[in-house]
Amino acid sequence: MDIEKVNSMDFGEFVDVFGNVVERCPLIAAAVRSQCLFSDLEDLEQHFFAFTDALPQSGQEGVLRCHPDLAGRELQRGELSAESQREQSAAGLTSLGAAERLWLAELNAQYRARFGFPFMPAARLSDRAAVPRELARRLHCPPAQELSTALGEVKKIGRRRLADLLGSHAAEP
């Protein structure tokens, strides 16, 4: 898909296609579409990120809370979005053994209790051994720093989701 195609979409189609660039936040796609036409993928990306950056802290935390826990209840129930399923699968989190799953669930619970939102790695960049290690490390970070780290991860995730939709390799690490 090229940027001309994106610019030609009507509002409904745009929200259908880009509604999960930020997990379960179609409102962000709706706001982005209401603003303007886009010059290229990077410009489109910047509009998504500028919206999240401009939210008050409560809104930013709300965006984070829209994400499912890694290897959590939604995965067990088959309720993940296609994008989250793909990312968690690529990191090996959909095939954890019972002991690994329990360990991650315990860490996820500690993280949520401390920060009020789920642990957010750019899961496609990680793997099943790195995720709990990174979670355990970030559990000790100051809350303001962790909010900023988590929002940075949401951007990495969004960048890759957008690149997938536009068939671009621009977001490859």
Binding mask 9-48 for ligand GUN (x = CB under 6 A): --------------x-------------------------
- 169 included as an active-site residue: no
Q: Which residue of 32, 41, 70, 71 would you call a contact of ligand GUN, by CB under 6 A?
A: 70
How far apart CA 5 and CA 54 sit, in angstroms, is 27
Residue 28: closest CA among 1, 55, 58: 55
Minimum CB separation of residue 5 from ligand GUN in Å reads 26
How far apart CA 165 and CA 5 sit, in angstroms, is 12
By CB under 6 A, what part of segment 107-136 binds ligand GUN? Answer: 118-123
CB 147 within 8 A of CB 166: no
**Catalytic residue of the set 47, 67, 140, 169:** 67
How far apart CA 37 and CA 7 sit, in angstroms, is 6
C-alpha 117, offset from chain centre? 12
Footprint on this chain of ligand GUN (rule: CB under 6 A)? 23, 67-70, 84, 87, 118-123, 157
Catalytic residues: 67
